[in-house]
């Protein structure tokens, strides 16, 4: 994962993802420094240089700057960024925010992204391109920064919203939305490995368990279309339609990623509790199609319970790893209280900033190393067990779920 550099000057610096401290020995001992990672859920990178306010706004889930006199760098993610990303830009660890942002501007976004992604050790990226307030890199370009492989995750609500436009423009009738969604999903590209639902942001996760009938879908579509005609935004937010979309993914036998828990200020977090999905998960279970609960914090124990009792349910900590910084060590341990090791996956949920890939990877390696090493030190499991679990969680579970070769 080192970069080839010139002779002399800052380029000689090794940009490996970790330095040495108490957790570092655990990383080394358990081979987690350079174990390959599959990032089963992330987003593209921004294609331009950023101002400091823009950078800060993309760093966390806050929707505006903190109170006067405060900075979003004074948070776990801010400290983690200074610690782990600064060396990749040839700065000493813990460089202050001003120095970091100056150096970042000096290098330019493309070089920064190349360095950060290259140092992350991520080999495969499953990219949800469904949220793009501005154009971001697609899966292939993104993976190119790391010399890796890019795959696609299709956002279900976008398919439905495109079909709604077709209804609005008279290209299809209101009763054809269901068929149109199914057809679009059938026409997916070969690089599509999963679908994703953002129902948590819209109607919440208390969705109908049973697969809605086409008649029910048509009725809900009619209501929705009328709302849009009445002036509402083209933004799906109907529980029946969200459930229908998830069932479309199941019927196409594509793994279904579902946003759960933690997100930004648009969210009503209480409606993102994964236990609200219990009925739907029970109904999907016999199909054996994989369901992947994303982020889950602060309901990660609840999500892990679901991953234990339903054979097809999996989880990750996604966005929460980055945002909780060093605190992610505790989250990983809690998710692994109940979740079988074959059901827990790595993702960064990185969005726009290359930093979020390196941070997600580094913090995940460190948290997993701490968890595994503590058990080995306590003779609770063997080093061979630890190594096998690490491989499952870092890559093999994702390879199995998404049928990656």
Question: Could you say which residues in the range 19-38 bind a second copy, by CB under 8 A?
Answer: 19-23
Closest to a second copy by CB, 56 or 128:
56
- Which listed residue (161, 327, 387, 404) binds a second copy by CB under 8 A? 327
For residue 65, give the DSSP letter.
Answer: -
Cross-strand pairs, 149: 124
Judged by CB under 8 A, which of 75, 120, 221, 348 binds a second copy? 75
Segment interacting with a second copy, rule: CB under 8 A, options 16-24, 35-43, 50-58, 132-140: 16-24
The dihedral built from the CA positions of residue 128, 126, 200 and 75, taken in this order, carries a sign that is negative
Q: Which stretch binds a second copy (CB under 8 A): 108-116, 165-173, 248-256, 384-392?
A: 384-392
Q: Which residue has the tokens 């490996």?
A: 16
CA distance 167 to 209: 26
Q: Which of 14, 41, 12 is nearest to 119 (CA)?
A: 14
Quote the least distance from Cβ 184 to a second copy, whole Å: 28
List the interface residues with a second copy, window 353-382 (CB under 8 A): 375, 377-382
DSSP state, 1? Answer: -
Gyration radius from the chain CA atoms: 21
Binding characters for a second copy, 204-243, by CB under 8 A (x = yes): ----------------------------------------
Contact between 403 and a second copy per CB under 8 A: no
Q: Give the binding range for a second copy (CB under 8 A) out of 135-143, 179-187, 224-232, 274-282.
A: 274-282
Q: Tell the residue number behind the tokens 């420094």, with chain if given.
A: 33
- 134 is an interface residue for a second copy by CB under 8 A: no
Interaction of residue 171 with a second copy, rule CB under 8 A = no
Q: Does 14 bind a second copy (CB under 8 A)?
A: no
Q: Which of 341, 387, 391, 404 is the binder for a second copy (CB under 8 A)?
A: 341
Q: What are phi and psi of 193, to 5 degrees?
A: -115, -10
Buried b (16+ CB within 10 A) or exposed e, 122-141: bbbbbbbbbbeeeebbbbee
E strands, 104-157, are 122-128, 149-155
């Amino acid at each position: 994962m080192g970069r080839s550099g010139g002779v002399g000057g800052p380029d000689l610096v090794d940009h490996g993802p970790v330095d040495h401290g108490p957790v570092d020995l655990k990383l080394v001992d358990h081979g987690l420094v350079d174990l390959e990672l599959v990032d089963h859920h992330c987003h593209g990178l921004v294609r331009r240089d950023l101002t400091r306010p823009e950078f800060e706004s993309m760093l966390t889930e806050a929707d505006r700057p903190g109170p006067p006199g405060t900075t979003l760098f004074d948070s776990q993610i801010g400290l983690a960024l200074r610690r782990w990303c600064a060396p990749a830009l040839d700065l000493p660890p813990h460089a202050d925010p001003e120095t970091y942002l100056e150096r970042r501007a000096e290098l330019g976004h493309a070089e920064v992204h190349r360095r950060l992604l290259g140092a992350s050790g991520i080999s495969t990226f499953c990219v949800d391109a469904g949220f793009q307030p501005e154009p971001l890199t697609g899966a292939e370009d993104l993976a190119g920064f790391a010399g890796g492989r890019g795959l696609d995750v299709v956002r279900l609500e976008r398919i439905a919203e495109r079909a709604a436009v077709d209804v609005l423009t008279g290209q299809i009738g209101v009763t054809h939305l269901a068929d149109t969604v199914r057809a679009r999903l059938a026409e997916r590209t070969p690089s599509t490995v999963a679908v994703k639902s953002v129902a948590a942001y819209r109607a919440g996760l208390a969705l109908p368990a049973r697969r809605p009938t086409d008649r029910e879908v048509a009725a809900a579509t009619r209501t929705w279309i009328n709302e849009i005609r009445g002036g509402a935004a083209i933004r799906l937010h109907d529980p029946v339609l969200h459930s229908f979309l998830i069932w479309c993914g199941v019927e196409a036998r594509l793994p279904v990623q579902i946003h759960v828990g933690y997100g930004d200020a648009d969210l009503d977090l209480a409606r993102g509790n994964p236990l609200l999905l219990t009925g739907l998960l029970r109904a999907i279970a016999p199909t054996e199609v994989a369901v992947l609960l994303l982020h889950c914090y602060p309901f990660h124990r609840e999500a892990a319970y679901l991953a234990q009792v339903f054979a097809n349910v999996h989880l990750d900590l996604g966005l929460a790893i980055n945002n909780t910084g060093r605190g992610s060590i505790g989250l990983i341990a809690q998710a692994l209280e109940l979740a079988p090791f074959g059901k827990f996956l790595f993702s960064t949920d990185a969005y726009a900033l290359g930093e979020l890939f390196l941070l997600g990877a580094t913090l995940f390696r460190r948290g997993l190393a701490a968890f595994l090493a503590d058990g080995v030190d306590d003779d609770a499991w063997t080093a061979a067990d630890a190594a096998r679990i690490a491989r499952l969680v870092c890559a093999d579970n994702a390879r199995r779920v998404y049928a990656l070769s």
